[in-house]
Amino acid sequence: MEKKTIWHTMAAVDVRFLYIIIVIAIVIPLLNPIGLPLVFLDEVIDTVALMRSIPPGSLVYFGAECAAENSAELRPPAVAGARLMYELGHRIIIGGFWPDGCILVRQWLTPYFEEMGAVYGEDYVILGYRASVTSILDTARDNFILAFSDRDINGDRLSSMPVMAGLNKASDFAYCFVLSPGGPGTGTYTTAWRATGEVDLIIDVPTGSMYNSAGNNYQSGLTAGLIGGLNGGAQFEQLIGHPGEATRSMDAQSMGHFAIITFLVVGNIGYFQIRRMEEQEKEAIKSGGS
């Protein structure tokens, strides 16, 4: 008679129980980030150092180039980037050429700005969506307020806002921080402003699908910083001391992978152990019969 072992017991476990364990392993980090160790890339470390090297009071441009389908990847670095800019005392000008970009970024950032005490019109402003990207960025090289028709997303005058003080043209920006799931994106700003010598420092924040090309641009010196995909966002959050959505997502991904790999390893060990015991039992029966 076949002897039952722990391997037989584990092999008989209902597969639905394993699914439940995987779900638990994923949900726990989403509710409470663990902060599992990450490999911090030099590009992310250097980007944070670059932002911290810019003096307080400097003007920075935040490119809200995104859509709803990019939210999972771009919201975490957008929130972390805006938080760091405000903590460093940078004045944030948010503009974008994707129809939903500025609306989405306003939804993402407003709760954090309110939490930190940032004042609209003094610490930051949202320009709103504009359609004619090439002509606007070209005009902004000489007259930024005119390029955006002296109006923000709410229709209020930009020229009357303290945050705009000293902003005459694109070259007044210390750096650009650009979300980039495609075009318009970082390439648009490098062509319009960096290639013409207006803004030397452009930080690229691409989605994972754009990371390879973004990495080439960073390595060649075309961009000054790079925060790529959800993994880059998690590194960025931890480096600035504010673990958030990206950290939770990476923790959940890691825990889910760990659970699946554990089941695969244990399952294979169990399979070969049971197979070995069955072969030994067959050999014992043959020996007894002879």
For residue range 103-152, list pLDDT tens digits in order: 999 999 999 999 999 999 999 999 999 988 999 999 999 999 999 999 99
Residues with pLDDT less than 50, the chain: 1
> How far is it, in rounded angstroms, from Cα 80 to Cα 236?
7
pLDDT of residue 188: 96
Alpha-carbon distance 92 to 192, whole Å?
A: 20
Cα(247)–Cα(90) distance, integer angstroms: 25
Nearest to 4, CA basis, from 289, 278, 287: 278
Q: What is the Cα–Cα distance from 288 to 71, expressed in whole angstroms?
A: 68
In the three-class reduction of DSSP (H, G, I as helix; E, B as strand; rest coil), residue 128 is classed as: strand
pLDDT of residue 270: 83
Residues 6+ apart with CB under 8 A from 123: 86, 91, 92, 113, 163
Q: Indicate the CATH number for domain 42-250.
A: 3.40.50.10160
The type of residue at 79 is V
Per domain, the residue ranges of the chain are: 42-250
Strands 202-206, 124-129: pairing is unpaired
C-alpha distance from residue 73 to each of 52, 69, 232 (Å): 23, 9, 10
Please say whether the beta carbons of 178 and 186 come within 8 A. yes
In three-state secondary structure terms, 148 is: coil
List C-alpha distances in Å: 104 to 64, 109, 126, 173, 252: 8, 9, 11, 23, 24
Report pLDDT for 3.
66
Residue 116: the pLDDT is 95
